[in-house]
Chains A and B, each alone.
Chain A
């Protein structure tokens, strides 16, 4: 058996190991991996997702394998080519082959203060953990470097709540990828996000403050930029120190010099990934690195693969701005022609670089709308992380891949940053592949079909449903779906009998689970209108139970930090004062926000608060495939932001305009105008039918916007169903809503009145008087907050940086 020692367990090192193991089922090679980092390989490309709550586990790329010895935290210190061993601080590893996969390090320019506490690079998970730690309680941040990585880091600092600036030495942002005009367009987007830019100026020093940590940057033009935290993203340099010390040749700009087989002049030593200079050129993207890994794996089992060259296409989903650059973006091909297009109104900039006969597309830059990207020909890359072209995907589909997971397994597209997954879906659609709608391994049907089965067959329990129409015991996907369907069809209290076992913990305890195992309590405050007496009760309850109190984005008040056994006591006080559950925990109606409207506002033309209260009371407790939100504005100035809601209402001089299918969240979308100048009763009828039709036919966790988008015929079809009654469904929908309104009762009160349900609210079944000792608080800004916050936060819908 021969031994290969892999130095570095980054993205490419791991890919090499996977590729070799796949090609070497007989185990001819014994693999030892020496890793400097203390965690196994993870997805560096998706590193920034860490700040959106994606934990280290989710980024992990390594699967344990008996044929591979992974030595974490044991960096290689030297290669002894005479004795054929790789040395580490603790021992020696004999080899027949060495694969260097040491990646790059972040280049830090030699300015004063670069070593101050609070100055970071942006390369490893540990860097990000340290950045998050340092950002806590601080206000300002700065990034040195306005390239891809710098902008990604700037967005991360912004998400951490820092007022952020970017300093770039070149006269435009992303100088490598975009041209001057594209850079100017990009800057406008970045400005608008509140990220400051200082272009065409060098950083001359990093200054410290009174506490010895970083306080700001001094620029060459005399400007001082405040920064309590600094990220240096000024470029990367290959880690070629082992090769250099071993007397191997380096590329002209560093990197381990290798030939097209990724082999150094020493036939036993190979280099892959960012540390390799293939024929003299280093590649700073993951796709070429993966290609090198495959080449070396093939060579070690006797193949003759060579590095095919790299596509430098980059695609960046940055701060909500699309930036794409591909091929010869700067037009360096002799005689080439540029076609540029700038639209200040929609703020799109595009440049295409064509061959001198204008027949061949050589490259281009797109800022603002990169959707033109996938219409490129079959050789265009769909997945830039894994160098997968449209042809590759189409071939896989033709070869039988029928869904995204299959495409991922077969082509590896979509397995790194994930930003190409929507495109994979589009390509499947384009190829006419119908994707499976099975809910999970227990049910082969979609939520909509399940809803019809339950309704038409009159099934009342999960056990009957799974026995007749499914298999196994259910899971955390199908159980809450069925619970929601049963609730929508009005089959009693959500905690009755078997239904209790189907609920997510939030519905089970009628409160929202927090990261430390405590819960939050949100009483309903219809329309955001509240009396002073009720405000005082909320204050008293919060004080007496020592709850953290916050005004939510939904015009009501959230009380955090309640233990399970405290919930009924808290509800008792609230219910006695006239409050009820606000269903913040349910896939249900949340809030109907309002603006103050004609009662007070000098512009208001209708009573927006009155309508919001009436709507919230009508639809409270309505369970749905996802949460439902609404708002009512008293005039076209739209202070209630109704157009960002599932159903939004805006007053007109003569009635109400109804907008459908809006949401904020991950993918914000404005609602579309559906009907105008409605009377209040016409309006309510339309909303009744809209909601009931949605509840019946939408997919699991599909909000109304996505539901309408997926509907054949879209808004027009919806109009034909709920206005013209084209399906003859309206009477049924109306009756279903009437039943809902009639049967509503407050879920908190119902629990308080029922000892059997109350019994569930105990800390420990055998020690109900002992509070959970793991829930403890410390104080922040005068209020209790959880101590020892854990590393993996509960993910909220936040924008995500991608390229």
Chain B
């Protein structure tokens, strides 16, 4: 269902991202959750794989044992923001995407993986 692109899509100015709070963005029809934390910028799918709701951008960010994390706001499973891997449920993960900041603009590139 995702249309993968190899180009960078500008999303918003960096200052639109409140520190430690996510936002949702639409990139080529895919819902992305974007975060700006003290550990940097992160982008993962907005779709919570456990519940099927598009809500991960609204989770609380933090850390677990040094790993930057976000917790699903619905049932609180925690994901590694760097890899998208769920730290609570074996075998569960969300796709992650590439994100960078250029000239004050946040840009996202979808990853090929389905």
Contacts and interface: CB of A to CB of B under 8 A. Distances in A.
A442 to B, nearest CB: 8
A478 B64 CA distance: 12
B51 interface: yes
Contacts of A762: 23
Contacts of A474: 60, 62-63
Interface in B14-44: 16-21, 23-27, 31, 34, 37-39
Contact of B38 (A473, A509, A766, A788): A473
Contacts of B90: 60, 62-64
Contacts of B23: 762, 764-765
B62 A476 contact: yes
Interface size on B, as a range, is 35 or more
Interface string B4-17: 00000001100011
Given A473-B37, A790-B52, A792-B75, A508 B62 contact: no
Nearest to A518: B53
A640 interface: no
Contacts of B55: 505, 513, 517
Contacts of A774: 31, 47, 53-54
A762 B11 CA distance: 14
A515 interface: yes
B65 interface: yes
Contact of A473 (B62, B75, B76, B92): B62
A770 B90 CA distance: 34
A273 B1 CA distance: 43
Interface string B68-105: 11010111111000000000011110000000000000
For chain A, give the interface size range. Answer: 35 or more
Interface majority SS (helix, strand, loop, mixed), chain A: loop
A85 B67 CA distance: 46
Contact of A501 (B19, B31, B63): B19
A760 B63 CA distance: 23
A766 B12 CA distance: 6
Contacts of B69: 475
B58 interface: yes
A764 B12 CA distance: 10
A442 B67 CA distance: 13
- CB-based closest 3 A-B pairs: A473-B63, A476-B71, A475-B62
Interface of A: 55, 57, 60, 62-64, 441-442, 472-476, 478-480, 498, 500-505, 508-509, 513, 515-517, 760, 762-767, 770, 772, 774, 788, 790-792, 794
Given A474-B60, A792-B51, 6 more contacts: A60-B90, A474-B63, A478-B62, A502-B60, A765-B12, A765-B17
26 contacts: A60-B90, A64-B90, A442-B63, A473-B20, A473-B39, A475-B60, A476-B62, A478-B62, A479-B62, A500-B21, A501-B18, A501-B21, A503-B60, A504-B73, A505-B59, A508-B21, A513-B58, A513-B73, A515-B53, A516-B53, A517-B53, A764-B23, A766-B12, A766-B27, A772-B54, A792-B51
